[in-house]
Copies of this chain bind each other. A is one copy, B any other.
Amino acid sequence: MRKKRTNDPEGMRRRVLDVAEDAFQARGYHASSLGDLMAAAGVTGGALHHHFPTKKALALAVIEERVAAAVRETWIKPVLAAPSAREGVRAVFEAVAAELEQPGYVRGCPLNNLAHELSLADDEFRLALARVFADWRQAIADKIRADQRDGEEGATDPERFAALTVAAYSGAMSMAKASQDAAVLRECLKGLESFELPPSQGQLTVKRRRRVLLRSKIG
């Protein structure tokens, strides 16, 4: 029998990133050995080294391609698509909380996990992680500004709202991970919701805001 092999560089790269993303979130960067990743992905050392010359290069790819994409899918897109920033934030919090409540470990936010472990270890890591945070915050702030252009939101400071939202979410995920309980996420959401509203602006205006979707030119 002759040996057959089909080269699939993109697929192999994808499989490596898949298991690396998973392992880095579940066990962290330093606790995940390349041997583990090779075994999990069914990849040889030669192939791994061909696509990612160093472990650091692999981690950078995970951050820039996977973690950034996860933040985009989980947070940025839903918030931008929501009728308002506040409703979007609320929807994301609840979606994540619901996801954490079904069986399985609470693994925490992948961005925060890597941010804590790698921010101080290497400046390239730090910058890549800071960029993801910045994009995340800016998307929320932009959404607030869009709401304001539509006559909503009053004088809410966009950057302040975005910073508080991202911080509260990150910190809540931190505690949820330590306590293995998503309840704190819901608590923080309620806290944000009950305090967030600027005075003289009730939630009565929340309802008929479907127009926003029509008027905003969604990119």
Contact = CB atoms under 8 A, between A and B. Distances in A.
Given A26-B120, A112-B116, A191 B163 contact: yes
For chain A, give the interface size range: 35 or more
Nearest to A180: B126
A187 interface: yes
A30 B113 CA distance: 14
A121 interface: yes
A19 interface: no
A40 to B, nearest CB: 17
A107 B133 contact: no
Interface string A120-136: 11000010011001100
A167 B188 contact: yes
B187 A175 contact: no
A148 interface: no
Interface stretch (A6-14, A48-56, A193-201, A209-217): A193-201
Given A166-B171, A180-B126, A188-B167, A117 B28 contact: yes
A174 B108 CA distance: 13
A119 B178 contact: yes
Interface in A170-210: 170-172, 174-175, 177-180, 184, 187-188, 190-192, 194-199
11 contacts: A28-B117, A28-B121, A107-B120, A113-B116, A116-B117, A161-B191, A163-B184, A167-B170, A169-B171, A171-B174, A174-B174
In the A-B complex, the 4 residue pairs with the closest CB atoms: A167-B171, A170-B171, A164-B191, A30-B30
